Structure 1
Amino acid sequence: MIELFALRFLINLFFTFLVIRFIYYPQYKNKDFVFTFFLFNSILFVLCFLLAAADLKFGFAFGLFAMFSMFRYRTVTVPIGEMGYFFLVVTLGIINSIASLENYAMLILANSLLVGVTFLLGRFLTLTHENFQVLTYENLALVKPDQKALLLQDLIEKTGQPIHRVQVVKVDYQRGVAQLKAYYYSKDNETFSADAEA
């Protein structure tokens, strides 16, 4: 039993290490989540392995997964990409602890498949995001439908962002300012300052 536990834990730790150190961390550089991912994975592995002997098996595993699928950090906002990695390390902990497989080649193949797909998606699926930022704009003369080209040019010069479209949120004629949504493409979910004035 001890040998089985140790072997399963080493397999789990190896593939979790590959995901966190060589796929997640180079992209996100968040040490806090690195610790959290390892901790959750290890706790879940030990918990599932020890309780699997009580014949709870896959019903228990799916119950845990459903519970963690509703999990949210209360103190910080977790980006959806990092939540994906969280679910992956949870899944690795579950399948490595309770999968009733005598053939370890199949267990290693399942782990390799999950890690490989994660690597390929993270490496080659670089989609372009359309981000936007709300701006306070003072030149009301350009906030007109027939001045769209000049407005875009002015915003590009002032913000330095490749803005391709603008939406007028509201216009305050008393203060002489307009609130705009400036849209631009980026490979990252980056935004320029929320307090930007153009």
Structure 2
Amino acid sequence: MIRFLQENFDPDIAREFSDNLTEVASPNDILGIPLIQMESLRSLCVLFFFNLLICWVIVHFFYYRKSRRADYYYTFMLFSVTVFLLMFLLNNVNLGMGFALGLFAIFGMIRYRTEMVPIREMTYLFVIIGIAVINGLAMSHGYINLLIINLLIIVVVGVFDGFFVHHKLEAKIILYDKIELIKHGREEELMADLRERTGLEIIRLEVGHIDFLRDVAYVKVYYTPFSNYPNSINSMVKHKDFMK
């Protein structure tokens, strides 16, 4: 009998029945779904707080320190948490490259209906989303490699953000009334008049829409700012825009 079983033993059948018995007997499964996966949970906790720390450093010390926009502070941090958890849960799902890039592009091109997001805020949003995607999908590369990648991002953000703060110009749109000075050849007079009336250190200017019926024109001036804090209403020309 033993010899008969040895000659007709099929390891594939034994493995199949063994797996089925294990699944049925496992006390940690509910409807075939594991109640908890300790290895995945440990990775989730470590990477979650690591990602949160990296994003907080960038948002708090680079963005918020200069802009003081608490609304975007809140937005960036929630985007970071949400995108990271989404990428972490989808890490084990077989996603096509097109779908993954499309998902990333959708997040990267978000616009709000209430107001257009400024370029600086959109750049930081893109960086925060990118960090969350990297930390959520790059677990197989090791913690040291992941730490180096995140530190490189922090260094690059800090260097370029600090560089452009000291070499930047602010732009302001002015509704100008002395329309005779917008003529070609009178740029120096126009700039001198604007410097005198605004007190700004104007570097250059551009003449836009001209309304001959009201004798006014829109002039965009570029000037050296007095502080490092960006002016969020420089480009607003309508009264309703100031109420947003």
TM-score (norm 1): 0.80
Compare relative contact order (CA 8 Å, sep 6+) and give the higher one, 1 or 2: 1
- Distance verdict in 2 for CA 1:60–1:182, change over 3 Å: closer
* Structural mapping, 1:1-198, within 5 Å: 1-56=40-95, 61-126=100-165, 127-129=167-169, 131-138=171-178, 140=180, 148-163=187-202, 164-165=204-205, 167=207, 170=210, 172=212, 177-179=215-217, 181=219, 183-187=221-225, 190=231, 191=234, 194=237
Cα-to-partner distance string for 1:27-84 (whole Å, 9 max, x where unaligned): 1111111111111111111111112122338665433212112211122221111111
Contact 2:176 2:217 in 1 (8 A): yes
Counterparts of 1:84 and 1:125, CA distance in 2: 14
Q: Which structure has the bigger radius of gyration? A: 2
More deviation, 68-77/7-16: 68-77
- Distance verdict in 2 for CA 1:44–1:137, change over 3 Å: same
More deviation, 62-71/150-159: 150-159
Counterparts of 2:47 and 2:74, CA distance in 1: 21
Q: Give the percent of matched residue pairs that are identical in Structure 1 and Structure 2.
A: 31
Contact 2:200 2:224 in 1 (8 A): no
Counterparts of 1:144 and 1:57, CA distance in 2: 58
TM-score (norm 2): 0.67
Counterparts of 1:138 and 1:178, CA distance in 2: 7
Which ranges in structure 2 are unaligned for 5 or more consecutive residues?
1-39, 239-244
Which ranges in structure 1 are unaligned for 5 or more consecutive residues?
none
Helix, strand or coil: the match of 1:43?
helix
Alpha-carbon offset, residue 186 of structure 1: 2.4
Counterparts of 1:186 and 1:59, CA distance in 2: 44
